Amino acid sequence: MKKNVLVWSVIILAFLVVPLLIRSNYLLGVMIIIGLYTIIVIGLGILMGYAGQVSFGHAAFFGLGAYTVAILTTAYHWPTMGALLAAVALPGLVAALIGRPTLKLKELYLALATLAFGILVHILFNEGRTITGGPSGLTSIPYLSLGGLVFDRDIKFYYLVWTTVLVISLAVKNLIGSRVGRALRAIRESEHAAETSGIDTAGLKLQAFVFSGALAGLAGGLYAFYVTFVSPSPFGFHASVQFVLMAVVGGLGTFGGPLLGAWVVVTLGEVLRWAVPLVIPGAGGEYQIIFFGVILVLVMLVRPQGLGTIAEIFKKTAVREVK
């Protein structure tokens, strides 16, 4: 118990001190994006790592959350907190509607179905000009405000995003240790055996899908308030591949996997954005997805359990040494 308190004390202290040490707005912005992506990957980790269902369409839920905030605050002048709640509810509702038929599919067919959903939503973002603004997007999104507090600076938004990450992480940790969490793990190991033992596998898979969609919507809503502008480009297939890569690299079914995966992939993306044009003059973002695909294959070959399992091993070793 004391060891857990010490670990969380160190995490919270680092969370409070890091932005005070970062003098660059660019680096602080990268930390905020890592936090937003961590929220998405936490939900995706529940879906893939515990319920055993893959999704290549989570960029669509991310975009639905962002566009919900953008449309409600600019066209209908909703209060910002109300728009953020709607950004959580709408993707969750969409996930519930498409999840029931989609989750009856298995493996490759499920991956293709979620991929098709993501592509369809991205097309709607591009073609729905009267509502979404088309490729030009929507501007003039107000800053998020909570009471008298307006999140109009990067450091304020950093604390908001990472507080959200901490709260969600603790909630998910408790969920995984509960009876529902054990049932989800049973589905991952053998859906047929879980169903035979009386577990409502279809219901739990749908709940995991809705939960992950709602978290992606939350991240999308926060993203819209952070950049105060949305367009279709951040919500395409490339983003969905990145989210799956983050989940796999971090380690499916590990507590620290989402954070580790988001940190590694976002950092790698920034490095590739700088390095690829040096190696391939005139290269654009389309080359990055090739590198991400290669990395995903290598991780699956070399470390299929993900990097988060390495952290778990170090943690267990440290605990044994203390004892």
Domain span at 134:
22-235
CA distance 156 to 200: 42
Question: What burial class does residue 9 get, using C-beta atoms within 10 Å of its C-beta: 0-12 exposed, 13-18 middle, 19+ buried?
Answer: exposed
306 domain-assigned: no
**Of 55-59, 103-107, 211-215, where does mean pLDDT reach its minimum?**
103-107
Q: What percent of the chain has pLDDT over 70?
A: 87
pLDDT in tens, 91-100: 999 999 999 8
206 domain-assigned: yes
Q: What pTM was estimated for this model as a whole? A: 0.89
Answer whether residue 285 shows pLDDT above 70.
Answer: no
Answer whether residue 307 shows pLDDT above 60.
Answer: yes
Query: Three-state DSSP class for 145?
Result: strand
> CA separation (Å) from 12 to 159, 216, 243?
11, 24, 25
| pLDDT for 268 | 83
Please provide the DSSP assignment of 275-295 as one string: HHHHHSTT--THHHHHHHHHH
Answer whether residue 317 shows pLDDT above 60.
Answer: no
> CA separation (Å) from 244 to 143, 197, 238, 254?
29, 30, 10, 15
**Both structure tokens of 182:** 């054990």
Answer whether residue 304 shows pLDDT above 70.
Answer: no
Answer whether residue 19 shows pLDDT above 50.
Answer: yes
pLDDT in tens, 35-76: 999 999 999 999 998 888 889 999 999 999 999 999 999 999
247 domain-assigned: no
| pLDDT for 37 | 97
Answer whether residue 147 shows pLDDT above 90.
Answer: no
The answer for residues whose C-beta is within 8 angstroms of residue 279's C-beta and 6 or more apart is: none
292 domain-assigned: no
Answer whether residue 232 shows pLDDT above 80.
Answer: yes
- Say if residues 126 and 67 touch (Cβ distance below 8 Å): no
Number of domains in the chain: 1
Mean pLDDT value of segment 250-279? 82
pLDDT in tens, 240-251: 988 998 998 888
107 Ramachandran zone, left/alpha/beta (phi>0; psi -120 to 50): left
Q: What are phi and psi of 21, to 5 degrees?
A: -90, -20
13 domain-assigned: no
319 domain-assigned: no
91 domain-assigned: yes
Answer whether residue 322 shows pLDDT above 50.
Answer: no
- Reported as half-sphere exposure (CB side, CA atoms, 13 A), residue 300 has a value of 11
43 domain-assigned: yes
**Of 125-129, 176-180, 210-214, where does mean pLDDT reach its minimum?**
176-180
